[in-house]
């Protein structure tokens, strides 16, 4: 207890001095008896949980008069080699006398001075030594120390599989989204000729609807006329027949005139719409002698400043394309290049 209090007063037990364990331990040093149960337990746990971790044994006595000095030498050797990510220092359970080397001051100071993070694993869960307080981490048993520094291989494999499936699903969804975007963009791209064709089809539909509406209106009026005629015939008086006959004749004349006027108006409107669409058609503009000039990247040329002498261009006219090279350019201000 006196030694423990002295070391505590020097700060050997302070958490501020304790080193953190690396997140991934690839190489672990085991300082223990090479023939004891502790080393077998550690190697068995590492093989079961994560076989990829390399283990180096630094053999030492773990009880008796020579044990403390050998433990100090083993810690120094491990630090000198500087190949391990962590050191497990410990042994299996035993009597207080058996565990006493881990209460020696020299062992405590060697653990404190180690540049490699240390795990004390001495005895059973109820056993505590000074080495437990000085080490960066304490494990109740050597097997527990091996579990602390080794990830669970099967659990990591399951996590990797889950991440792989999630990544595949994410990539699949992204590809589907990009494919749909391409399809949508393709649908939105329409050739001018196709647009004119759609307008012409729309006019055809309007013409059909107009003719159907006129025919339906005529049939309705004819039906009404027949009903009135039948009513007049049933009333039979000659004067009424003569009067209603004239009204029917007048109504038929007005109806015929009205229908003819409406039909003519609708047909004129349809013809005007067709002429208007034809006038603004790009193909119609080209047929009047105009052309559209593009460069080799299919970009429309809008100014002489955007072309260079010798550059290959192509001009779209009404019946095809003309390919030519620029030999001279002239701006509106008559400046030449």
CA distances to 60, 158, 281, 310, 314 from 292, rounded to whole Å, are 92, 63, 14, 19, 8
What CATH number does residue 13 fall under?
Answer: 3.40.50.261
Residues of the chain with pLDDT > 90: what percent?
36
Q: Is residue 114 part of a domain?
A: yes
| Among the ranges given (187-191, 193-197, 291-295), the one the predictor scored with the smallest mean pLDDT | 187-191
Q: Where are the alpha helices (DSSP H) in the chain?
A: 2-10, 37-49, 67-81, 96-99, 105-113, 130-134, 142-149, 153-188, 192-235, 238-280, 282-287
pLDDT of 231 above 80? no
Same domain, 28 and 88: yes
Let me know if residue 330 belongs to a domain: no
Same domain, 129 and 76: yes
| Domain total of the chain | 4
Residue 120 is inside which H or E element, if any? strand 118-122
> Looking at the domain assignment, is residue 333 inside a domain?
no
Least confident of 35-49, 93-107, 167-181, 314-328: 167-181
Helix axes 192-235, 238-280, angle to 10 degrees: 180
**294 lies in a domain?**
yes
Domain match, 234 and 267 both? yes
Look at residue 161 and tell me whether its pLDDT is greater than 80. no
Q: Examine the domain organization and report whether 253 and 300 are in the same domain.
A: no
Residues 181, 198 within the same domain: no
Q: Do 134 and 202 fall into the same domain?
A: no
> Which H, E and C letters describe 239-305, residue by residue?
HHHHHHHHHHHHHHHHHHHHHHHHHHHHHHHHHHHHHHHHHHCHHHHHHCCCCEEECCCCCECCCHH
In 10 A of CB 231, how many CB atoms? 10
pLDDT > 80? residue 153: no
Looking at the domain assignment, is residue 32 inside a domain?
A: yes
Q: What residue numbers bound the domain in which 316 lies? A: 287-325
Strands 320-325 and 86-91, how do they pair? unpaired
The model's pLDDT over 117-151, given as tens digits with 9 standing for 90+, comes to: 999 999 776 768 999 999 999 999 999 999 999 98
Tell me the pLDDT of the chain averaged across its residues.
Answer: 84
CA 141 remoteness from chain centre: 46
State the pLDDT at residue 84: 96
Q: Identify whether 307 is part of a domain.
A: yes
Are 83 and 46 contained in the same domain? Answer: yes
Dihedral angle of Cα 119, 125, 127, 132, to the nearest 10 degrees: 20
Q: Is residue 331 part of a domain?
A: no
The pLDDT of residue 336 is above 50? no
The verdict on 202 and 180 lying in the same domain is: no
Total-model pTM: 0.49
Residue 334 maps to a domain = no
Residues 31, 135, single domain; the answer is yes
The per-residue pLDDT for 200 is 82
d(CA 90, CA 68): 12
């Amino acid at each position: 207890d006196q030694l423990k209090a002295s070391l505590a007063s020097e700060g050997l037990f302070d958490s501020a001095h304790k080193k953190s364990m690396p997140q991934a331990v690839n190489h672990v040093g085991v300082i223990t008896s090479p023939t004891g149960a502790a080393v077998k337990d550690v190697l068995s746990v590492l093989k079961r949980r994560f076989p990829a971790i390399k283990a180096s044994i630094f053999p030492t006595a773990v009880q008796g008069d020579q044990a403390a000095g050998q433990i100090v030498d083993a810690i120094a050797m491990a630090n000198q080699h500087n190949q391990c990510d962590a050191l497990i220092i410990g042994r299996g359970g035993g009597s207080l006398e058996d565990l006493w080397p881990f209460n020696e001051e020299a062992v405590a100071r060697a653990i404190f001075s180690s540049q490699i993070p240390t795990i004390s694993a001495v005895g059973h869960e109820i056993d505590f030594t000074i080495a437990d307080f000085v080490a960066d981490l304490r494990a109740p048993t050597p097997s527990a120390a091996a579990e602390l520094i080794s990830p669970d291989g099967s659990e990591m494999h399951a996590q990797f599989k889950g991440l792989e499936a999630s990544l595949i699903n994410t990539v699949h969804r992204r590809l589907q989204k990009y494919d749909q975007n391409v399809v949508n963009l393709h649908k939105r791209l329409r050739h001018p000729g196709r647009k004119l064709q759609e307008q012409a089809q729309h006019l055809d539909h309007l013409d059909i609807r107009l003719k159907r509406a006129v025919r339906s209106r005529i049939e309705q009026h004819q039906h009404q006329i027949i009903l009135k005629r039948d009513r007049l015939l049933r009333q039979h008086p000659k004067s009424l027949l003569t009067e209603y006959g004239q009204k029917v004749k007048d109504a038929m004349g007005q109806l015929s005139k009205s229908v003819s006027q409406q039909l003519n108006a609708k047909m004129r409107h349809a013809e005007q719409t067709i002429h208007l669409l034809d006038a603004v058609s790009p193909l119609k503009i080209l047929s009047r002698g105009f052309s559209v000039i593009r460069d080799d990247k299919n970009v429309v040329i809008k100014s002489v400043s955007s072309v260079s002498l010798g550059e290959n261009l192509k001009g779209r006219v009404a019946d095809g394309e003309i390919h030519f090279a620029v030999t001279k350019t002239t701006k509106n201000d008559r400046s030449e290049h």
